[in-house]
């Protein structure tokens, strides 16, 4: 395992996640993209933790995972609340607030 291969894998995940966020209209798909980005960072952290031989990275991953779960829970709750009022989860329909 080299830093290069690590970067390749995680960078690929990052790019897929970012593309998902930019291109998809469905809020749930946006969440997939978000999780992908966070997990790309996790891959990098775990890999570097192994390369450096210390545990800072792996501990960081625990926190990232927990925060990602909390974020997903809150995000889904907001989406459900919006769906109840608007009957849609397409981002193009969320345009009440505009100039």
Partner 1 sequence: MELNVGLLSPEILLTGIAVFMILLDLITPKRFKNKLFSVISSVAVGVAIILTLSKISPIPQKAFNGFITKEAFTGIIDILVLFSGLFTVLVSHDFIERKKISYIGEFYYTLLFVLVGAMLLAGSSELSTLFVSLEVASISTYILMSLFKGDYRGKEGALKYFITGSVGAALLVYGMAVLYGLTGTTLYGEIAQAAEKLSPLPLLLAAGLIAAGFLFKTGAVPFHGWMPDAYEGAPTPVTLLMGSAVKVAAFAAFIKLFIPIFYHFQAEWEKALGVIAVISMFSGALLALNQRNVKRMLAYSAISHTGIIIATFLSSPALTVFSVVFYLFAYTFMTVAAFGLITILSANGIKGEEIESWKGLYSKNPLLSLSAVAIFMSLAGIPPLVGFWGKFYILLALVKSGEVLLAVSVLIASLISLYFYLKPVVYIFMKEGTGEKFIPGAGEYVATIVSTAAIVIFGLLPEVIAQISIMGLSSFLRSLT
Partner 2 sequence: MESYLTLLVFFLIALTVALLVPNINLITNKFLKIDKANREKFEPYECGIPKINPIKGSYFAIFYVVALVFLLFDLETVFLFPWAVSFRKLGMLGIAEAFLFITILLVGFLYAIAKGALKWD
Chain residues in the site for partner 1 (CB under 8 A): 3, 6, 10, 14, 17-18, 21, 27, 30, 34, 37-38, 40-42, 44-45, 47-48, 51-52, 54, 56-57, 59-60, 63-64, 67, 70-71, 74-75, 77-79, 81-82, 85-86, 94, 96-97, 99
Q: Among residues 5, 1, 8, 11, which one has the least CA distance to residue 52?
A: 1
Binding at 23: pick from partner 2, partner 1, none (beta carbon under 5-8 Å per type): partner 2
From CA 77, how far away is CA 13, in angstroms rounded?
26
């Amino acid at each position: 395992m080299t830093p290069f291969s690590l970067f390749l894998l995680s960078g690929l995940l990052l790019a897929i996640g970012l593309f998902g966020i930019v291109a998809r209209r469905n809020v749930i798909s946006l969440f997939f993209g978000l999780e992908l980005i966070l997990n790309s960072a996790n891959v990098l952290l775990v890999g570097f933790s192994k390369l450096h031989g210390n545990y800072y990275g792996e501990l960081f991953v625990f926190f990232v995972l927990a925060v990602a779960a909390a974020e997903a829970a809150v995000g889904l709750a907001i989406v459900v609340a919006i769906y109840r009022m608007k009957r849609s989860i397409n981002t193009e329909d969320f345009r009440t607030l505009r100039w």
